[in-house]
Amino acid sequence: MRVPTVRRVNVVGIAAIFAIVLLGAACGYSPSSNSSGTTLQTGGADAPLSEEATAGQAAFDQQCAACHTIGGGPLVGPDLAGITDLRATDWLHSWIIDPAAFAETDPDAEAIFTGGMPALGLSDAETDEVIAYLESTSEVEGSSAAPEGPRDLSAVEFDEASEIFFNRCAGCHGTLRAGATGPAIQPEDRTLEIGTTGIETILTKGLPGGMPAWGDAGILTEGEIDLLANFIQLDPPTPPPLDLTQITESWNLVVPVADRPTESQTARDWEDFTGVILRDAGQVAIIDAGTKETVAVIDTGFAVHILRSSATGRYFIAVGRDGRVTMIDLWTETPEIVAQVQGCFDARSVEASKVEGFEDKYIIEGCYWPPQYVVFDGQTLEPLVVHDILSPDINGKELDEVRVAAIVASHFDPVWVMGLKESGYVGIVDYSQPDFPLVKKIEADLFLHDGGWDHTGRYFITAANAQNKLMVIDVKTQELVAGIETGKVPHPGRGANWQDPEFGWVYATTHIGEGKLTLIGADPEGNPEHAWKVVREVEIPGTGSLFLKTHPESQWVWMDTALSNVEGENQQACVYSIEKMEMEKCFQVADHGTVVHFEYNKAGDEVWISVWDRDGEVVIYDDETLTEKHRITGDWLITPTGKFNVFNTANDIY
């Protein structure tokens, strides 16, 4: 029997982050279940199992045991002891094959379907084997003990657990655990009901829908899992605020402007430098895309997330998960840090002022925590202002946490445009006004995440990924123009723009939750009948992708299959042909790690790809022939993720 495999993460973060998106859809958690226990048991009948039941047991252990026990009490899903006495075989079959679809046709299924249990992808035969195994356990009695609640944590343990939560969980579940990309995991609505054993099992084994197996992957120790399992059943600590005075205290002007060169000191083409994030090393490598030489490896701080370029390209600005912003000067002989500051405790986005007259003048940082944005001087990072962004969401629901997601800078107006994740608004900050106010909040949809410009730079397109939509904002008129369903959890990165032979200009995204490239018409003037509608859907192997990229000079669109749950499939890249309007090919980039994120060189004739692993690589392909041209390796190349070419990033070429 073929049992679909659940790939385990091997680098900190990958599915750790994105696939966790699907955690909410991972298991059939039945809140009405009242039988519970403390021991994890996945079987129990003494009689020898039939061949069918034996195969079913293997499938159960692999696909179901993270959520269900048989006689051990509920985990995320109910204890399945005696389930075959309760439900007919046909009923169970339909439920296991696709609970959501079954719930639409069967009232009993509808009554218990919480949206939690996913279709596991089992064939009819495999499903029958699982049912045969469940039948073989029909003598086992369910446990009725109450879930084991949390133990008291000492102050030291609580602090340690808070830190683990912040590093591993807060990105998806929110600092206050109210959910966003992942589901809410607050004590009252989830974790107390699951109990310590259940949570430990989930943290160790992951969930079929994508929650990473932190324990099995060797990322969290048993001790850390114990701490975390108890911690998330206790009320979350209120994270501290960070005001302008504190931010200013963190400011370190390493090289004053007067001491910096007034023209470039390097003989290299610094506009063709590519910054490579070395995520777990807390570093950024600067590589000369022309010679492929590593020009500098710079310590920037904890889990650097992205780089952006100042308008002229002279400065790289890095932002890390610790909220630290680092400014790197590329005009010195060797690139070096000229200023650093911490505007948030947790952050993912940073951007520069880009409109004419404001080049290299200001920098904005969007915080995950506290709910605020901070504006800095664009030469020194001196903090200028902090603005609170906490507000009710677009439906009027009061919130305790609103995170700044993607930020883009207009090339036409002195504004930054940013997704306000939990509240579902897109905010517009006018940096030509004193005090850098949030001048407009446009209703979009909930849980805004990443996004970028259309080919004209007039429309900001951002994923409301919990709604499976791309939202289109006309930044000129400051209005929402469309919300388009594209597939399961769209994840455009900044997206990709090109001219489709049939539909003219399009913008595209791949998806975290399914193997699909979706193109939407993005030419409201030339092709109004197709504008902001899905015009093409192309299947990608695997079950999820993170990033895609193209270039005005290219005839290809590159994308990863990083979230595939098929062994090895996460190590390939796929290339879509713009001319042929179909997938050209997918091929293996590495035999280790996870292949992720694409960037072009300045000329647009090479594509750079990261192999995200402790033994990381950056693999460079000739964009015309699609053949490998160069492979950068080395002990220092630890967990490369995002790559940002100076010219392309400063000019928003994607």
Residue 542, SS3? coil
Phi, psi of 625 (to 5 degrees): -95, -10
Closest CA relative to residue 405, chosen from 435, 361, 445, 433: 445
18/498 with CB nearer ligand DHE: 18
Output 131 or 172, the one with its CB closest to ligand DHE: 172
Residue 171 makes contact with ligand DHE by CB under 6 A = yes
Q: Is 13 in the site for ligand DHE (CB under 6 A)?
A: yes
CA 424 to CA 418: how far, in whole Å? 11
Choose, by CB under 6 A, the member of 6, 9, 11, 17 that binds ligand DHE.
Answer: 17
Q: Which is nearer to ligand DHE, 27 or 180 (CB)?
A: 180
Give me the catalytic one of 27, 117, 211, 327: 211
CA neighbours closer than 13 Å in the CB half-sphere of residue 26: 27
Q: How far is the CB of 451 from ligand DHE (least distance, A)?
A: 7
User: Does position 68 bind ligand DHE by CB under 6 A?
Assistant: no
Among candidate residues 64, 117, 169, 327, the one labeled active-site is: 169
CA distance 569 to 117: 25
Q: Which is nearer to ligand DHE, 16 or 70 (CB)?
A: 16
Residue 551 within binding range of ligand DHE, rule CB under 6 A = no
DSSP assignment, residue 605?
-
**Which long-range CB contacts under 8 A does 380-383 form with residues at least 24 apart?**
380/253, 380/256, 380/257, 380/339, 381/251, 381/253, 381/325, 381/327, 381/339, 381/340, 381/341, 382/248, 382/251, 382/253, 382/341, 383/244, 383/247, 383/248, 383/251, 383/341, 383/343
**Binding flag, residue 349, ligand DHE (CB under 6 A):** yes
181 binds ligand DHE (CB under 6 A): yes
Q: Which of 450, 500, 613, 652 binds ligand DHE (CB under 6 A)?
A: 450
Q: In what order do the strands lie in the sheet containing 606-612?
A: 594-600, 606-612, 617-622, 628-632
CB of 423 to ligand DHE, least distance (A): 14
* Residues 397 to 426 in contact with ligand DHE, rule: CB under 6 A: 405-407
Closer to ligand DHE by Cβ: residue 92 or 284: 284
Give the active site residue among 64, 172, 471, 574: 172
**Short-list 603, 575, 609, 604, CA closest to 589:** 609
CB of 604 to ligand DHE, least distance (A): 15
Whether the CB-CB separation of 284 and 303 falls below 8 Å is answered with no
Binding ligand DHE (rule: CB under 6 A), the pick from 305, 314, 354, 530 is 305
Residue from 449, 455, 536, 551 that binds ligand DHE (CB under 6 A)?
449
Between 279 and 324, CB nearer to ligand DHE: 279
Q: How many CB atoms lie within 10 A of CB 504?
A: 18
Q: Of these residues, 305, 455, 491, 530, which one is catalytic?
A: 491
Site string for ligand DHE, 615-654 (x = CB under 6 A): --------------------------xx------------
Helix (H) or strand (E) holding 131: helix 124-136
Instruction: Answer yes or no: 449 catalytic.
Output: yes
* 269 class by beta-carbon count within 10 Å (0-12 exposed, 13-18 middle, 19+ buried): middle
Neighbours of 586 (CB within 10 A): 18
Confirm whether 211 is a catalytic residue.
Answer: yes
Report the DSSP beta bridge partners of residue 327.
317, 339
Interface of this chain with ligand DHE, residues 90 to 129, rule: CB under 6 A: none
| Min separation Cβ 274 and ligand DHE, Å | 12
Can the peptide bond before residue 528 be classed as cis, meaning omega within 30 degrees of 0? no
Which are the contacts of 21, defined by CB distance < 8 A and separation ≥ 6?
A: 172, 181, 182, 210, 465, 489, 512, 513
State yes or no: residue 348 binds ligand DHE (CB under 6 A): yes
**Min dist. Cβ of residue 198 to ligand DHE (A):** 23
**Residue 558 beta carbon to ligand DHE: minimum distance, rounded to whole angstroms:** 12
- Residue 93 catalytic? no
CB neighbour burial string for 527-544, b if at least 16 within 10 angstroms, e if fewer: beebbbebbbebebebbb
* Residues near ligand DHE (CB under 6 A), total: 23
Q: How far is the CB of 39 from ligand DHE (least distance, A)?
A: 33
Cα separation, 66 vs 528, in Å, equals 49
Q: Does 491 bind ligand DHE (CB under 6 A)?
A: no
Nearer to ligand DHE, 128 or 450 (CB): 450
Our CB check for ligand DHE shows the closer of 17 and 202 to be 17
Is 597 a binding residue for ligand DHE by CB under 6 A? The answer is yes
Burial annotation 150-160 (CB, 10 A radius, 16+ → b, else e): beebeeebbeb
Active site residue ranges? 169, 172-173, 211, 449, 491
What is the binding site for ligand DHE (CB under 6 A)? 13, 17-18, 171-172, 181, 279, 305-306, 348-349, 405-407, 449-450, 493-494, 546, 596-597, 641-642
